[in-house]
Amino acid sequence: MMLSDLITRHQSTLDAAVAANRDRTFHAHWPEPPSGKIYGETANDDGLKAFQDQVGKPVAGLGEAQQHGGNEASPYGFNLGVTYPMWSVDELVERASDAQVAWQALSAAERAAVLIEALERASKRFFEIGYATMHTTGQGFVMAFQSSGPHGFDRALEAVAMGYASQTAFAQHVTWEKPMGKMSVVIQKTYRVVPKGINLVIGCSTFPVWNTTPGMFAGLVTGNSVIVKPHPGAIYPIAIVVAELRATLVDLGLDPNICQLAVDTVEAPVTLELLEHPAVRIVDYTGGPVFGATVEAACAAHGKVVYTEKAGVNNVIVESFDNADQALGNLAFSLSLYAGQMCTAPQNIYVPASGVRVGDETWSVDEFAQHLRQHVDALVLNEKAGPSTVGTIQSAATLARVEEAKGLGLEVVRESAVVAHPGFDGARSATPLILKVDVERDDIYTREWFGPISFIIAVDNVDDAIHRVASSIQAHGALTTLMYTTDASVMDRAEDAIVRAGAPIAFNFNNFVWVNQSAAFSDFHGAGANPAGNATFADWSFVTNRFNVIGVRKQA
Amino acid sequence: MMLSDLITRHQSTLDAAVAANRDRTFHAHWPEPPSGKIYGETANDDGLKAFQDQVGKPVAGLGEAQQHGGNEASPYGFNLGVTYPMWSVDELVERASDAQVAWQALSAAERAAVLIEALERASKRFFEIGYATMHTTGQGFVMAFQSSGPHGFDRALEAVAMGYASQTAFAQHVTWEKPMGKMSVVIQKTYRVVPKGINLVIGCSTFPVWNTTPGMFAGLVTGNSVIVKPHPGAIYPIAIVVAELRATLVDLGLDPNICQLAVDTVEAPVTLELLEHPAVRIVDYTGGPVFGATVEAACAAHGKVVYTEKAGVNNVIVESFDNADQALGNLAFSLSLYAGQMCTAPQNIYVPASGVRVGDETWSVDEFAQHLRQHVDALVLNEKAGPSTVGTIQSAATLARVEEAKGLGLEVVRESAVVAHPGFDGARSATPLILKVDVERDDIYTREWFGPISFIIAVDNVDDAIHRVASSIQAHGALTTLMYTTDASVMDRAEDAIVRAGAPIAFNFNNFVWVNQSAAFSDFHGAGANPAGNATFADWSFVTNRFNVIGVRKQA
């Protein structure tokens, strides 16, 4: 297939994505329901079988290597035994450098078309990707399907569209004519996009696709070779995406090493060696704040571009409800979904000491706490919805954190307990632990307690809450803020203060939309304006720092 | 005047600038000739008188202070005695922080209109700015008028237009409706631009306006308060721009401290203290590479956005001429203009050892060198054109560097000499020194020799030259590359190699356009892709890193 045919084939997909990025409207190129009606009646069975066939074997399509490794374990209680080829950093970087020359010579439109083609091909494996995600991250299947399938791929397409738009926002050639009195001078000018260099994308264990595709596809569409370095605990889902992209490149006569997978182990990590290689010029990082600070410092010291999404402390302010039942159901779902292992999950819930207004009533803080507990119980103890919503716990460290929180000696609003996952006796799980903490104990609650741990904090009044949340955002970072109020003036004050502090804010979510969720093409994910990270999926700065424009001038 | 009226007044100016940035066509909002027909018959006399009246006095319109200072000296041989208010870093930063709140609440369109209004008002003082620039930088008057007047203001307008376009490239509000089977969920979403924080703009001594306005106006249009920190040797020209902007802000009922001038002295510099203040989040720097590296490291250590234009070693490759006379005239002008004190001026001239093809002839390297010398002589010894083209030498260190170069023991192609500037007996000047250096002596010629110093270097052949230039760009940085060749295949090879190395290239300039010149709205200035600096006037990354977009979501 010619690249020009590929451009034609995917033009409407690209145009719609560019338009959605501009208009911020609802847009989904891949439907989110894991439904046989959409993806084919045998899609689920085929995907499950592909997953089962892969367990215990090496993944194909990633290139040939002397050495193989891989040590993933499902949080549902079994070892995957999937292995991957492994190379030295020098081998990876040399191949990436070689591959970049021809890749950067393509036009932005050609690169975008190749990448969309690869996404379309990989999307045929959404169900396998879903099971691979379920059994590395511990998410429930539906969430795993959506986060690593349609939602993660929409984030990839968003980045492709943004990168394409940024490279075509100016003329690629112009006949420049400067009037000089009775004559003029004419210069032929060409503007060439030059990628910064190799783009390293460092993944995390909880969202191995969703948090990797934005940097990966932003780097690729702007002409960079990309090396994807997944978390050693969650390689398999993104390995499928990389393998499908490489197969697409080969079929198109392009060098597959434009995108490589770098696999390491917890015992012998290669991330620092990779990011310190002089040829690596862009680094995308999602993960914990401690290693994130190391990544940022190493990049800063060598003038590398770095995009980080680390972590923060997300806040909720509850002042008043118009529909308490729906609101609490919504908040309970946000606290329970994937057992709080989302960077966007709420942690600290601020309530005025005078209570929460609910119509003509006022609930005391304790009454509010009990209502919230009941809604969490109703969800997580529901045998049908509970297990798949809560999922399992990706890391033993997160389970240990729940134990640590239990030992703080705080008033327990809701105890954390195990969720039974039928068929998976060894599953590692924990339902939401909700604690009540005195406002003075900010030594406790302004830390990030990653996992199913939240705190209810009584404060003087709503403006005190707003002030504390704004301060927390600036000191500790945040990815989300959620507020319930029926008072328009309170809403305005909160919006101004929280936005100025640098975090997004959502008001009165009560139905089919949750503060943890961030929609591709519409919601900018990661404010970039507070200590939780400097990257935003996908604003203009997320793509424009990955390339330069170099001018060529010719006098006729 | 209402801000809405101001938007209407300047809409066509803004639209034309946005279109020029996109199309990269020739565009000049302010005409470059310092002509009475354009700017008024008395404009020159009025500007000269304003300059003369200012000498020896404090500049008004910058705010009230206890302390004043200023110690500028004209390279034409007299002290200016102009003084400026001075404040502590804490005072400057506190006022900037206070002023930013209302400024960031304006829309991008309002900010753009205010800034264009200020530029229009300041443009009434182009001639005074020209004399102020002449007598701080040492440029000839016409160049001083153009660089700090129309060209510098066009760069400001370019940045305003780019910043405006980047803030309006996505919807500011959307009703987001997600279909959910038979129903849908509706969210009202608003996207708010939040500036990173205070933007410090550090100026240089040779282009105090042209190199300052891009960062200054990019910072302002994206909602940041700006503190302009000029080089202590060239304050007066940019002080006029700051004062006119502040007067405009006051007339519009806005806080003038949205833009402040921070003046220091060589003896008691404040730049590091300013840039290390936690509230300063963006730094623009133009100047020498040693202090530039300090600026970059200090910013990197604290996660600040930094845009630098430091310095590089600019290269020329001469392979063949179709019109040798015009080409050499062009090159001679580039070497002579402002005595090589432009970051874009050529330094190293590579010539194949076999000589330069000129039609059917071949000139030996020495013949080429003598032809070049003759063209430089014809220009700089011309009593009318010479002094105003060469101008004077801004810094005593540059004159010392010419002496250092003379002492290298290299073959002298052209001796440097003094230029007489009638009426300015004390002028500090030097015409181009051209040396011939053995290719092995890269310890000498790969250093930047800022000033009227260039080297002719014989190399094996044109591909050797291309290879050496590409290596030099990557190791030492460059702002420009100039090549003369009549061979299309050589041109293609050079373009690929130089662009990939990260520097712009110009071919066969021979008439009314010079490699040192970079046209606003069309030429991206500063590749950003090599060690000479990371900033480009004004690409998308030059504006998009100065703000974040924060989402506000409301469920209906």
Mean pLDDT of A264-280: 94
* Cβ–Cβ below 8 Å for A174 and B303: no
Q: Are residues B182 and B200 in the same domain?
A: yes
Q: Is residue B24 part of a domain?
A: no
State the smallest CA–CA distance between residue B188 and chain A in angstroms. 10
Whether A213 has its CB under 8 Å from any CB of chain B: the answer is no
Residues of B in contact with A545 (CB under 8 A): 541, 545
Residue B182 confidence (pLDDT) above 80: yes
What is the Cα Rg of chain B in Å?
24
Residue A70 confidence (pLDDT) above 70: yes
State the smallest CA–CA distance between residue A408 and chain B in angstroms. 34
Whether B24 has its CB under 8 Å from any CB of chain A: the answer is yes
* Residue showing tokens 């995390």: A204
State the smallest CA–CA distance between residue B169 and chain A in angstroms. 6
* Cβ–Cβ below 8 Å for A174 and B522: yes
Residues of A in contact with B303 (CB under 8 A): 296, 300, 534
Closest alpha carbon within chain B to A32:
B180
Q: Are residues B345 and B493 in the same domain?
A: yes
Q: Is residue A142 part of a domain?
A: yes
Q: Is residue A41 part of a domain?
A: yes
* pLDDT value of position A409: 97
> Band of the pLDDT at A181, cuts 50, 70, 90?
confident
pTM over the 0.95 mark:
yes
State the smallest CA–CA distance between residue A386 and chain B in angstroms. 22
**Residue B39, both tokens:** 């700017």
State the smallest CA–CA distance between residue A19 and chain B in angstroms. 9
Of the candidates A245, A1, A294, which has an alpha carbon nearest to the alpha carbon of residue A123? A245
Q: Are residues A329 and A299 in the same domain?
A: no
Secondary structure of A371-388 as H, E, C letters? HHHHHHHHHHCCCCHHHH
How far is Cα A259 from Cα A199, in angstroms, rounded to an integer?
10
* pLDDT value of position B556: 67
> Band of the pLDDT at A301, cuts 50, 70, 90?
confident
Pick from B24, B513, B545: CB nearest A555: B513
Residues A524-548: pLDDT tens digits?
A: 999 789 999 999 999 999 999 999 9
Whether A25 has its CB under 8 Å from any CB of chain B: the answer is yes
Residues A187-231: pLDDT tens digits?
A: 999 999 999 999 999 999 999 999 999 999 999 999 999 999 999
Q: Is residue A522 part of a domain?
A: no
Name the pairing type of β-strands A78-79 and A226-229. unpaired
> Band of the pLDDT at A28, cuts 50, 70, 90?
very high
* Cβ–Cβ below 8 Å for A522 and B174: yes
Q: Are residues A267 and A341 in the same domain?
A: no
Specify the range with the lowest mean pLDDT, choosing from A127-136, A260-269, B373-382: A260-269
The secondary structure of B297-321 as a DSSP string is HHHHHTT-EEEEE-----EEEE-EE
> Band of the pLDDT at B301, cuts 50, 70, 90?
confident
Pick from A176, A513, A529: CB nearest B26: A176
Q: Are residues B121 and B235 in the same domain?
A: yes
Closest alpha carbon within chain B to A179:
B26
Q: Is residue A528 part of a domain?
A: no
**Count H helices, E strands: chain B?**
20, 22
Name the pairing type of β-strands B315-318 and B348-352. parallel
ipTM of this complex prediction, to 2 decimal places? 0.97
Buried (b) or exposed (e) across A407-430, using 16+ Cβ within 10 A?
Answer: ebebeebbebeebebeebeebbbb
Helix B126-137 with B236-251: angle, nearest 10 deg? 150
Q: Are residues B164 and B247 in the same domain?
A: yes
Q: Are residues B304 and B351 in the same domain?
A: no
Kindly list the distances between the CA atom of residue B502 and the CA atoms of A192, A195, B149, B509, in Å, as whole numbers in the listed order. Answer: 10, 9, 30, 20
Q: Are residues A373 and A350 in the same domain?
A: yes
Of the candidates B208, B205, B201, B191, which has an alpha carbon nearest to the alpha carbon of residue B224? B201
Contacts of B549 (CB under 8 A, 6+ apart): A524, A536, A539, B170, B191, B192, B193, B194
Q: Give the DSSP letter of residue A245.
A: H
CB B427 within 8 A of CB B392: yes
Residues of B in contact with A500 (CB under 8 A): 101, 104, 194
**What's the start-to-end Cα distance of chain B, in Å?**
37
* pLDDT value of position A263: 97
Q: Are residues A299 and A322 in the same domain?
A: no
- Residue B314 has phi, psi (to 5 degrees) of -90, 145
Range of the domain at B342: 315-507
Q: What is the mean pLDDT of chain A?
A: 97
Whether B182 has its CB under 8 Å from any CB of chain A: the answer is no
Name the pairing type of β-strands A315-318 and B73-74. unpaired
Residues B466-486: pLDDT tens digits?
A: 999 999 999 999 999 999 999
Residue A295 confidence (pLDDT) above 90: yes
**Count H helices, E strands: chain A?**
20, 22
**Residue B398, both tokens:** 């540059």
Q: Are residues A156 and A118 in the same domain?
A: yes
* Cβ–Cβ below 8 Å for A499 and B192: yes
CATH code where residue B487 lies: 3.40.309.10
Q: Is residue B22 part of a domain?
A: no
User: Which residues, listed in sequence order, are joined to residue A314 by a DSSP beta bridge?
Assistant: none
Of the candidates B158, B146, B150, which has an alpha carbon nearest to the alpha carbon of residue B25? B158
Q: Is residue A212 part of a domain?
A: yes
Evaluate the CA torsion angle B490, B492, B497, B503 in order and state its sign. Answer: positive
Of the candidates B507, B522, B498, B539, which has an alpha carbon nearest to the alpha carbon of residue B20? B522
In chain B, the percentage of residues whose pLDDT exceeds 70 is: 100
CB within 8 Å of chain A, chain B residues 130-149: none
How far is Cα A211 from Cα A148, in angstroms, rounded to an integer?
9
Residue B283 confidence (pLDDT) above 70: yes
Q: Are residues B87 and B125 in the same domain?
A: yes
**Best interface-test mutation with B: which of A164, A193, A540, A546 has the largest number of B CBs within 10 A?**
A540
State the smallest CA–CA distance between residue B405 and chain A in angstroms. 31
* Residue showing tokens 């809450």: A465
How far is Cα A522 from Cα A518, in angstroms, rounded to an integer?
8
CB A154 within 8 A of CB A520: yes
Evaluate the CA torsion angle A32, A35, A38, A39 in order and state its sign. Answer: positive
Give the H or E element holding residue B275: helix B271-276
CATH code where residue B157 lies: 3.40.605.10
* pLDDT value of position B266: 86
Higher pLDDT, B268 or A333: A333
State the smallest CA–CA distance between residue A158 and chain B in angstroms. 13
**Best interface-test mutation with B: which of A168, A176, A294, A545 has the largest number of B CBs within 10 A?**
A176
Give me the number of domains chain A comprises: 2
Whether A180 has its CB under 8 Å from any CB of chain B: the answer is yes
* pLDDT value of position B500: 94
Residue A442 confidence (pLDDT) above 80: yes
* pLDDT value of position A1: 73
> Band of the pLDDT at B181, cuts 50, 70, 90?
confident
* Cβ–Cβ below 8 Å for A507 and B554: yes
Residue A82 confidence (pLDDT) above 90: yes
Q: Are residues B296 and B357 in the same domain?
A: no
Q: Is residue A367 part of a domain?
A: yes
CB within 8 Å of chain B, chain A residues 305-344: none
